[in-house]
Chain A
Amino acid sequence: MSNYQPKILGFLCNWCCYTAADSAGVGRYQYPPNLRVIRMMCSGRLDPSFPLEGLAQGADAIFVGGCHPGECHYQDGNYHALVTAALVHETLARLGINSRRFLIEWASAAEGPNFVKIITGFTEYAATLGPLGTSEGLDPTLLREKLAMAAATAKDRKIRMGLISASREMMKGADFSRATIAGLVHDKCDKLLTELVGATPR
């Protein structure tokens, strides 16, 4: 197991994390070669189906990187990304998957070293979990099938309506803590997720 290399798929926003990754390169900071990056303009673009599809397609872990809270190039895209992230976390937990296989973190364009720290830490953590299904004690093939179904569920209109109202309430309440956002998403999507994906494990 010591040679195991986790496959990590990353979604980085153009303005902060992607630029931080570039600046890490310019500074020749070294980090584990496990991450494969898809660039987006904003972490707010993250569709809930993307990370689930990534896991279904063979990733062992997913990383989403945006600008620091309050520093989003587009004002509040990263807060909406947190809403999406909360749905992904919920979904993973319901599938019996360690939800910490999905990480959303921030690094500003100037923070190459911080980006390196985040990716190094996450890669090391993902390595301790082993390939998808191992730490969960579940059959990987079956899990990936379920993930593909969950990715389709994330495109469901009612689920997405739930995300809309979670995002709206988040903006109205102006409380952008992860716990509050997770609570909002749970409230809005619990019933449907239980129906479509399964109940939250106790």
Chain B
Amino acid sequence: MANIRDQCSWVHMHEPEAATAKAKDLVRMAVAKAAHLTALPEQRLPVTPSALVIGGGLAGMTAALTIAEQGFPTTLVEQGDTLGGSALLLTADRFGGDPRKIVAELAYKVKIHPLISVRAKASVASVSGYVGNFTTTIAKKAGSEVINHGVMVIATGGKPYAPKQYLYGDSERVLTQLELEQRLASSRPLSAKIKQVVMIQCVGSRGADLAYCSRVCCGQALKNALRLKTLMPELSIFIYYRDMRAYGFLEDDYRKARELGVIFIRYTPENPPKVTPGHSKSSLLKVVGYDPLLGEEVELDTDLLVLSVGIVPEDPTILSRMLKVPVTADKFYLEAHVKLRPVDMAVDGIYVCGLAHAPKSMDETIAQAQAAAGRACQPLAKGSISPEPIVSHVDPELCIGCGACEIFCPYKAITIDKEVKPRKAMTLTASCKGCGVCAARCPTMAIDMGRFTLEGIRAQIAAFGESV
């Protein structure tokens, strides 16, 4: 393809002549490459019709159930001893439902489903293979178990950020939204003496310890503020925020909170509110913040300070290396394409959902888990796969059997065939993803890549030169 729209006319809108000259060059280069294209043979490989789901939170359970309900056996691996994950820490959703109950019901459905096998207190020890034919070793205390499966879903979730700022840990009056949720669900939530509550948003987020926005904390603060107001209508609530992210129907909560008298005070990241303890343990905390809209300092005494902390993904280092899938700088699993393949991983047959992918609310987690399950069922339902034919191939005449390709291949997709003498490299077509590292490191240039051939690239370079 000659990319003359996105990479030419749209980016040189004010230089039509130069853009046209560039377009001509790009077309000439593309034609030069096209002259070397050949039909590539497609392979057809069978698919093991079963799935592995890693992580037994809301995302993993939803995905496992969705896959199993389409008739495919599914193994669900959970490292902890119970299913449920982070949702068990929440005590209400926006509508007053109890997530702990909903999750318990879901866990029950998962456990009794005839096609789902749950492996709790278990972890993935090793993975090999490719879409349609994965082999995974699951490690448990009692020993290990090897399973074959066609696809897998990553749902390893996340956990709350552990704050150190704003006297958290030093004062009993400082707690996180999750701790407040626990209290709100207990038999005696708050002492009647409490008059005033201050919440601070974006604690540790958006440029501090976490670079990103965790998406759920604004909604959680609104939800908990409304719960407090229902419980104690006279309570004064102040919310320090940077930007309220009350997207979708959360706007209704935001409006309701303001109608009920919750006061929202803006702060800037350079000038966060300062919290100082009172004289004794029992005295109130003092929160002083600069309100940039008012242009003045606001001083509040508060009985409780509630910190809205963000979400930290479960450390993906070991698993992502094992699966050969990329993660972002923030350690969330990186989808293959934000818009076109939002629940696929770069490696075919691996999908992602829930907090492992990015911060999101429970309903978003469920929707994404269903999407991932839907994608995962595609190769299972089809029964066979045809890998992209952009794979490496070895010219046995040139190959000296040195094995460099085998060392550098990230997918174990090229090996030295020990059967033939002298030794020669050999591509395992189904595993090869076409990156071409083997070709770049082959000492004799015996390896070439489908569709991105040496000849083709050289022709592009030469065609580039013709314009000069």
> Which residues of A are at the interface with B, using a C-beta cutoff of 8 A?
5, 7, 9, 15, 19, 21-26, 28-31, 33, 36-42, 44-48, 50, 53-54, 57-59, 67-68, 70-77, 80-81, 84, 109-110, 116, 155, 157, 160-161, 163-164, 167-168, 171
B19: chain A residues at CB < 8 Å are 33
A53: chain B residues at CB < 8 Å are 458, 461
Q: Which of B322-364 touch A at CB < 8 Å?
A: 324, 326-329, 334, 337-338, 346
B45 at the interface (CB under 8 A from A): no
A58: chain B residues at CB < 8 Å are 464-465, 467-468
By the criterion CB–CB under 8 Å, are A73 and B346 in contact? yes
By the criterion CB–CB under 8 Å, are B329 and A70 in contact? yes
By the criterion CB–CB under 8 Å, are B3 and A22 in contact? yes
Q: Count residues of chain B with CB under 8 A from any CB of chain A.
A: 59
A36: chain B residues at CB < 8 Å are 22, 25-26, 29, 464
A to B CB contacts below 8 Å, 21 in the list: A24-B7, A28-B13, A30-B13, A33-B12, A33-B21, A38-B464, A39-B3, A40-B452, A40-B457, A41-B433, A41-B435, A42-B436, A45-B435, A45-B452, A77-B410, A77-B435, A80-B408, A80-B440, A81-B440, A157-B444, A164-B441
B7: chain A residues at CB < 8 Å are 21-22, 24-25, 37
Contacts A21-B6, A22-B6, A46-B440 given; indicate if A167 touches B452 (C-beta within 8 A): no
Distance in angstroms from A117 CB to nearest chain B CB is 13
Contacts A36-B25, A70-B329, A75-B410 given; indicate if A26 touches B437 (C-beta within 8 A): no
A48: chain B residues at CB < 8 Å are 440
By the criterion CB–CB under 8 Å, are B12 and A30 in contact? yes
By the criterion CB–CB under 8 Å, are A160 and B15 in contact? no
| Alpha-carbon distance A154/B29, docked complex (angstroms) | 23
| Alpha-carbon distance A76/B440, docked complex (angstroms) | 13
By the criterion CB–CB under 8 Å, are A160 and B441 in contact? yes
B75 at the interface (CB under 8 A from A): no
> Which residues of B are at the interface with A, using a C-beta cutoff of 8 A?
3, 5-8, 10-15, 18-19, 21-22, 25-26, 29, 321, 324, 326-329, 334, 337-338, 346, 390, 402, 404, 407-408, 410-411, 433-437, 439-445, 449, 452, 454, 457-458, 460-462, 464-465, 467-468
Interface centre among A47, A59, A71, A110, by most chain B C-beta atoms within 10 angstroms, is A47
Interface of A is mostly: mixed
Which residue of chain A lies nearest to B12 when distances are taken between CB atoms in the complex?
A33
**Among the listed A29, A38, A50, A84, which residue makes an inter-chain contact with B29, where contact means beta carbons less than 8 Å apart?**
A38
**Among the listed B324, B328, B449, which residue makes an inter-chain contact with A75, where contact means beta carbons less than 8 Å apart?**
B324
| Alpha-carbon distance A63/B8, docked complex (angstroms) | 17
| Alpha-carbon distance A54/B410, docked complex (angstroms) | 28
**Among the listed A46, A59, A74, A168, which residue makes an inter-chain contact with B464, where contact means beta carbons less than 8 Å apart?**
A59
In addition to A41-B449, A45-B436, A81-B440, 4 A-B residue pairs with Cβ atoms within 8 Å of each other are: A31-B11, A41-B390, A59-B465, A110-B338
